[in-house]
Structure 1
Amino acid sequence: MPLDIRELPSPMDGELTELTDKLRKVDFPTLGHYLEEGFCDPLLQRMAGTEKLVGRAITVRITATDSTMLHHAAGLVGPGDVVIVDCGGDRRHAPLGEVVVNALAARGAAGAVVDGLCTDIDALRAVGLPVFAYGRTPLTTKLHGIADGSLGAPLSIGGVAVHTGDLVLGDANGLIIAPASRLAAVIDEAIADDAEEPDLIAQLWEGEPLGSLTGATETVRRLQTSG
């Protein structure tokens, strides 16, 4: 397959920056109340970094053993970008290590996601950039220069279709990758839900049944009488 190199998006505009600011405020599992798609394989977990990940996807596809395209892409990303690496299903070689992650952090990237493995885990944790992967290994990719790969083209990561420009959300619970328009449609309601949650929890500790507070008990009663 020939190289597929596409033009990367311009820096994030004011509208997108406003949305990402809102997304940093929400509890990501709250979005799970409103969305069904965009949730990556739960085995794809945060390996480094402690902060929430919010950024814009920049997609990179490499072969199992050759990270030439990733090294090229690392010099092109900008502030707020999240490099998303498709290794073609490989679970033996690590394209993300100390040098690549430092290169991304130096350019202001928000994080990195690999549909595979990472390495240099202690160094990655020292850098602090959020890195999501399926695991760790000392076996690394090389710079073979194989004419196969892509930059900016659609990918599938953790079972989720990803396009450059999609928004990437990650924390200790896992990853969400979705178009900005889809997240914009639910973010305000999700933030409102988060604001109401402390009162709900307080009522639980005061003895109120959860089903009474959420309406689930009334629903069950209605189903019983209508069955």
Structure 2
Amino acid sequence: MPLHIRDLSQLAPLNSALAERLARVDFPTLGHYLEEGFCDPLLRRIAGAGRLVGRAVTVRITPTDSTLLHHAASLVGPGDIVVVDCGGDRRHAPLGEVVVNALAARGAAGAVVDGVCTDVDALRELGLPVYAYGTSLLTTKLHGIPDGGLNVPVTCGAVPAGPGDLVLGDANGVLIAPAARLAAVLDEALLDDQEEPSLVADLYAGRPLGELTKATATVEKLLAAATPTENP
């Protein structure tokens, strides 16, 4: 596939109001309302801490060549999260101390790589959130292969990621989705979070979880429906 580069100016800017509200929600609560966008659970936080919210800057590289990633690291800005598609490679690390420092120097919020990273001790000392499948001593090179893309649709953690999508991450994993899709369920998710402390308090007060969530009533209805009715 030939090299395909779209200018970052074509991306919609990060909606700061939406990002601030997303930073308040418990990310797993979004899993009550969404099915798509959740990255492979094996894609884990390797460095950094806290909660990650930002705009995806997507990069697709060939398995051994990180030339395009170095170029992208020169263009990102505050709130951007670089999402790297390595073409399925799990051996060559495109992210290490120098690239991640380059991202940090430009104010980027973090990086998610559908592959591995290196220099893990330096990355943890720096503290910029980095998500990957693991670590490797084998790194990519600057071959300059005329292949890949910048700000194009990619795959990361077995989910599609588009340029300008929102990236959410914490210790549980990563979610990548269009802003409108997240906004559509955010109010309900925030309300759930507000109600959760009273739910937990009710549990310790002796009320069964199935009663509180009405799961027990649902099970009873299912059992009743499955029981053959005797003829009079």
Same fold (TM > 0.5): yes
Work out whether 1:47 is the aligned partner of 2:46: yes
Q: How big is each residue's C-alpha offset from its partner over 1:53-100, in whole Å with a ceiling of 9 and x where there is no partner? A: 110100001111110000000010011000001110111110000000
Give 5+ residue unaligned stretches, structure 2.
Answer: 227-232
CA-to-aligned-CA distance 1:97-151 (integer Å, 9 cap, x gap): 0000000011111110110000000110111111000000111111111111110
CA contact under 8 A between 1:54 and 1:170: conserved in structure 2?
A: yes
Q: Is the 8 A contact 1:80 1:110 kept in 2?
A: yes
Tell me which residue corresponds to 1:6: 6
Instruction: Note the C-alpha offset of 1:226.
Output: 2.3
Deviation of 1:12 after TM superposition, in Å, equals 2.4
For 1:12, the aligned partner's letter is P
1:7 positional shift: 2.0
| AA aligned opposite 2:206 | G
Shift >6 Å, 4+ stretches: none
> Which has the larger Rg?
2
Aligned to 2:18: 19
Take 1:169 and 1:142, find their aligned partners in 2: how far apart are those partners? 29
> Is residue 57–residue 83 contact of structure 2 (8 Å, CA) maintained in 1?
yes
C-alpha distance in structure 2 between counterparts of 1:215 and 1:19, whole Å: 32
| Residue in 1 that maps onto 2:117 | 118
Report what 2:34 is aligned to. Answer: 35
Number of paired residues? 225
**Is the CA contact 1:11–1:78 (under 8 Å) kept in the aligned structure 2?**
no
**Corresponding residue number in structure 2 for 1:210:** 209
Q: Secondary structure at the match of 1:91?
A: coil
Q: Which one-letter code corresponds to 1:144 in the other structure?
A: H
SS at match of 1:47: strand
Task: State the partner residue of 2:194.
Answer: 195
TM-score norm. by structure 2 comes to: 0.95
Identity of aligned pairs, percent?
A: 70
Which residue is equivalent to 2:229? none
- Are 2:11 and 2:163, in contact at CA under 8 Å, matched by a contact in 1? no
Amino acid in the other structure paired with 2:13:
M
Alignment correspondent of 1:61: 60
Which amino acid in 2 is paired with 1:140?
Answer: T
Instruction: Identify the residue that residue 134 of structure 1 maps to in structure 2.
Output: 133
* Structure 2 CA distance for aligned equivalents of residues 10 and 203 of structure 1: 46
User: Counterpart amino acid of 1:28?
Assistant: F
CA distance in 2, matches of 1:156, 1:75: 22
Structure 1 residue 222 displacement after superposition: 1.5
Contact 2:41–2:173 under 8 Å retained in 1: yes
Question: Matches of 1:123 and 1:39 in 2, distance apart?
Answer: 28
Partner of 1:181: 180
Q: Classify the secondary structure of the residue corresponding to 1:114.
A: strand
RMSD: 1.0
Q: How do 1:92-107 residues align onto structure 2 when only pairs under 5 Å count?
A: 92-107=91-106
Structure 1: how far apart are the matches of 2:11 and 2:131? 24
Structure 1: stretches of 5+ with no match in the other structure: none
